[in-house]
Structure 1
């Protein structure tokens, strides 16, 4: 097998995907302690996590910050909107999210108020408004302050397990990881190599390879030894 970015044969490709998923297939929602279901609070916590992950900051810091917000009681839009700005800043700081804490504290408050005012605090109503149109879902998600194209992509990548109209989704960031591993750039081929692995799990693993070269190197090394 060649090193990161090279061509691999079909058998080797399957081994690479298997090793990658086994070692690095945890979704970011699961890492953040979110038991993802199609109910208001987990979906809201995922929206906040997607917002945090979309900034230029380490994923581990974004995950830790999502946990810190939850521990501070800021786990639903009503509580987030009711918290004062300094309370949000302090919770972000405890998670290590200091570079963007002041701006993000403002955006989280504004986003919570928008969710409450327009969709009654329930992202399922936003989903219903999109009526199965994934492009419309992306557009609506980007109406939240701080949630741009990257944040919307992260949300849908993780939410596809409970919002099946978004599945199967292997987005551009996941394809970067596939490229680094020498895997196909075609989402259908990647899903075929992954067998019964959930698309959200596969995509998360590929994103981890895209963001951290060590993940890709470790995966290839393990696959070669099998």
Structure 2
């Protein structure tokens, strides 16, 4: 690790040190509603669609009042389709509307609408958390990683969590790809913020190139 690495990472964090939950207007807390809203965001981000569109769709679902699993499960399919469409999430709107309804039912039936019970069922073990999250319709390994990257802000037992997508961002920037090295390099930056910034570098080559240019 060199001063060059520190400069590159500092440039990245200064420009892109915002979690996807924050961008979607979710004030993350270890309480049922914010955790569920994060789960919905993870489902939306899992599709092959721009992150900005997924974030916009999450905001529209929230504006429609679909902020908890009970309201989501009780909503009409067309209501979900319309909210997703207003966010620009048109390519996957019908399929995702179904997934969100089915997922809400699962969260209610399996965990009583409270994802802290999922964490308890997993016994705080990361591999088990991954497996349980993938039982949610629309969440595969990548989607589970999205949720865990963000939730580590309020579930400290998960931290530090940097999944393959975040590590690919580090590789693009020429940074170390061992999570412990990146966390040390980031200093007092939260692991969730570090992960989100690295993912943005992975998703957008121009983001990485601009950080490298500014770092000199």
Q: Structure 1 length as normaliser, TM-score?
A: 0.94
Structure 1, residues 164-215: CA drift from partner, whole Å, max 9, x if none?
1111011100111011101011111111110011001001000000000010
1:210 corresponding residue in structure 2: 202
2:63 to 44, 67, 71: 71
- Return the alpha-carbon distance in structure 1 between the equivalents of residues 162 and 147 of structure 2: 12
Structure 2 residue 168 is the aligned partner of structure 1 residue 172: no
2:130 to 111, 134, 138: 138
Q: Pairwise mapping of residues 33-182 of structure 1 onto structure 2 (< 5 A)?
A: 33-182=25-174
Misfit runs of 4+, over 4 Å: none
Q: Secondary structure at the match of 1:96?
A: coil
Q: What is the CA distance between 1:125 and its match in structure 2?
A: 0.7
1:190 corresponding residue in structure 2: 182
Could you say what the CA RMSD is over the residues aligned between the two structures, in angstroms? 0.7
The number of residue pairs the alignment matches comes to 216
2:15 corresponding residue in structure 1: 23
- Return the alpha-carbon distance in structure 1 between the equivalents of residues 181 and 129 of structure 2: 25
- Return the alpha-carbon distance in structure 1 between the equivalents of residues 215 and 63 of structure 2: 39
- Return the alpha-carbon distance in structure 2 between the equivalents of residues 70 and 156 of structure 1: 21
Q: What is the CA distance between 1:87 and its match in structure 2?
A: 0.5
Q: What is the CA distance between 1:25 and its match in structure 2?
A: 1.1
Q: What is the CA distance between 1:41 and its match in structure 2?
A: 0.4
- Return the alpha-carbon distance in structure 2 between the equivalents of residues 152 and 34 of structure 1: 18
- Return the alpha-carbon distance in structure 2 between the equivalents of residues 24 and 117 of structure 1: 37
Q: Secondary structure at the match of 1:164?
A: coil
Structure 1, residues 11-52: CA drift from partner, whole Å, max 9, x if none?
100000111001011100000000000000000000000000
Return the index of the structure with the highest Cα Rg.
1
Q: What is the CA distance between 1:102 and its match in structure 2?
A: 0.6
